[in-house]
Amino acid sequence: MKKRLASCLLAATLAPGVVAAAPTPPHRSVYKPALILQWKDRLHVANERLQQADWKQGRDIADAVMREMRDRIVSGEASGDLLAVALLFRAIGEAGLNDAEAAAWDFGTAQSLYPGYEKVDLKPYGAAGASLDQYRYKNGSPPDPSAWADSDGRTDRQVTPPRKVSGQTGEYPLAKARSCVQQPVVVRTIINEQGRPESPSLPAATDPVLALAAFDAVRTWRFEPAQQDGKPVRVAFLLTVNFKVRQCY
C-alpha cells in the first residue's frame, strides 16, 4: 500500500517534458535525468519519514528538494506536477507540526500546480493528512465559496478593498534568468480579516516555475483588510507579481 502510494505521488518526477539545469552556469541549460532521479529518491525518503510521523525530517527534505527544483527547472509541461509533489509533502509535514497556515498554503499551491491532488489519498499520514482535508479544492476552487462570491475585488456591497502594506517582491528563478523575460504573474487569493492571504490559485494558465515563485512572494504579503460597515471582511482578490530580471545571461 505504501509503495503504491509513493509511486503514484512521485510518478510526475519522471514525466517527460521537464528541462532541468544547474543555476551556474545558466547558459548551459540541458536535460538532466540523473538530477530528476536524485530528487525522486529524496522525495521517496521524505514520504517514508512522513508516514512514520517524522514530520520535521520529512518536511525539511521536501523543502530542500522543492527549493532546488524551483531554481533549476527551466521549463517543461510536467514541471508543475514535479513541483507539486514536494509541496504536498512539505504541507503534510507542516500539518504534522501543527503549522496550519503554512500547511494550508502549500496544499493549496500544490493543488493549483497539479489539480489531481484535489483527490489525493491522505489517509496514510494519519491525523496530519486528515487535517488537510478541509483545504481541498474542488474543480480549481478553494473550499470557501462564500469568500469567492465577490471575486476579484468587484462587489455590489459597499466594501473597501484591501491595501497592501508589506511583503517581498517576486524572486526570479535562477535557471529562467537566461530567458530574460519581464513577465507578470497573476495570483488569485483570499485576503482574510487579519489581512493575510490564503487559498491561493491561478486564474489562468501560467508557467509553473514562475507561478511557484509568485506564490512564494504573495504568501509574505500583508494587507489592511477589506472593510464593510467599518468591520474587516474576507474578500477574493487578484494580485499581480511583476518579475524583473536583475541580470540577463
pLDDT tens digits for the chain (249 residues)? 444 343 334 443 333 344 444 333 333 444 478 888 999 999 999 999 999 999 999 999 999 999 999 888 877 667 888 899 999 999 999 999 999 999 999 999 999 999 999 999 999 999 999 999 999 999 888 876 555 544 444 445 588 999 999 998 877 787 776 666 667 889 999 999 999 999 999 988 888 988 999 999 999 999 999 999 889 999 998 999 887 776 665
* Class of the CATH-defined domain 2-135: mainly alpha
Taking the mean position of all CA atoms in its chain, how far away is CA 199?
A: 10
What percent of the residues of the chain are helix, what percent strand, and what percent coil, each to the nearest 5? Answer: 50, 15, 35
Q: Give yes or no for a contact between 132 and 217, defined as CB atoms under 8 angstroms apart.
A: no
- Report the alpha-carbon distance of residue 158 to residue 231 in Å, rounded: 11
pTM (2 decimals)?
Answer: 0.83
pLDDT at 140: 85
Are the beta carbons of 218 and 200 closer than 8 angstroms?
A: yes
Report the pLDDT value the prediction gives residue 72, as an integer from 0 to 100: 86
Task: Decide if 1 contacts 123 (C-beta within 8 A).
Answer: no
Domain ranges of the chain: 2-135, 145-242
Domain 145-242, architecture per CATH? 2-Layer Sandwich (3.30)
- Provide the pLDDT for residue 145: 53
pLDDT at 16: 39
Residue type (1 letter), 224: E
According to DSSP, the β-strands at 184-191 and 197-201 are antiparallel
pLDDT of residue 144: 67
Q: Is 191:197 a contact under the CB 8 Å cutoff? A: yes
User: What would the grid cell of residue 48 be?
Assistant: 517514508
Instruction: Tell me if 83 sits within 8 A of 208, measured CB to CB.
Output: yes
User: Residue 159: what pLDDT?
Assistant: 86
The whole-angstrom separation of Cα 68 and Cα 141 is 28
Task: Report d(CA 86, CA 93) in Å as an integer.
Answer: 11
